[in-house]
Amino acid sequence: MRTLQIVIFLLALLVLTTQSARHIYVRYIEPRTSVLDRFDETDAKKVIQEARTLSDLLKEYEPARELVDSLDKDLKQELTQKTRDEYYMYKQKWEEDHKQEYKRESELKSAIYSWENRSRQILELRVFWLFGLVFFLVGVAFLKRNQDWLGMFFLIPGIIEMIWWTSPSFRFVGSPLEFDRLLNNKLIFTFATLAILIAFWIMKERRNKNNPDKRQHGTH
């Protein structure tokens, strides 16, 4: 049993320390810009980069959506007056003429979806990490009652749950503010998981040192 606990502890530390390094790199070191960005810069992208809240994006998206809806309505009316041969040519020309309006609406919509997705990830991280902590504490309670296998039954999923939800996310897209907030949360909870595991192991080793008979029993 002790061998199993050591293996799990070392694997958990290995994963947590490596993913901590990656979080720190992505959050504070990794370049997020390119010298070519200025060639693809649009008004919508500037808005997305400068947005401080989801409401900021929504305020920009609402008029953009209204304009696109109006364009679609006008296009539909125009197409009803065209012949079959004229239909596709006119539609293609219309979309080309109003390319910027459609692109702006699409970029803002994508940024809003991305922001909402990041917010949902932060919520899931906090909730499921707490579930993992509860499983972990239940496992510790059973271990203290010398219910080793039952304790490990809860301890292992607890550790996996906490590690899984603090694991690295996909690369940066959308608003940098919400992406950084997600990374900050992952860093905090990763360090918290590390601290909990190290504290647990130190207390366990002290307990084994004060109770050598239990330590010998645990090696079998």
- How do the domains of the chain map onto residue ranges? 2-31+39-218
Angle at 175 between CA 170 and CA 178, to 5 degrees: 75
Closest CA to 26 of 169, 122, 189: 169
Q: Closest Cα partner for 171 from 57, 48, 22, 44?
A: 22
What residue type is 161 in one-letter code? E
Q: Does the pLDDT value for residue 129 go beyond 70?
A: yes
- Mean pLDDT for the stretch of residues 19-25: 92
Least confident stretch, 113-122, 123-132, 142-151, 171-180: 171-180
The reported pTM is: 0.81
Residue 219 has pLDDT above 50, yes or no: no
Q: What is the DSSP letter of 51?
A: -
pLDDT tens readout for residues 42-65? 888 888 888 899 999 999 999 999
Overall average pLDDT of the 135-156 stretch: 91
Neighbours of 89 (CB within 10 A): 10
Residue-averaged pLDDT of the chain: 88
Q: Angle at the Cα of 182 (from 176 to 183), degrees rounded to 5?
A: 85
How far, in Å, are 14, 79, 92, 169 from residue 172 at the CA level? 25, 40, 33, 9
pLDDT at 218 (0 to 100): 47
Predicted confidence at residue 90, as pLDDT, reads 87
CA distances to 45, 62, 80, 111 from 66, rounded to whole Å, are 19, 6, 22, 17
The CB-side HSE value for 121 (13 A sphere, CA atoms) comes to 22
pLDDT of residue 41: 81
Region 87-91: mean pLDDT is 86
Dihedral pair phi/psi, residue 120, rounded to 5°: -65, -40
Burial degree of 56 (CB within 10 A; 0-12, 13-18, 19+): middle
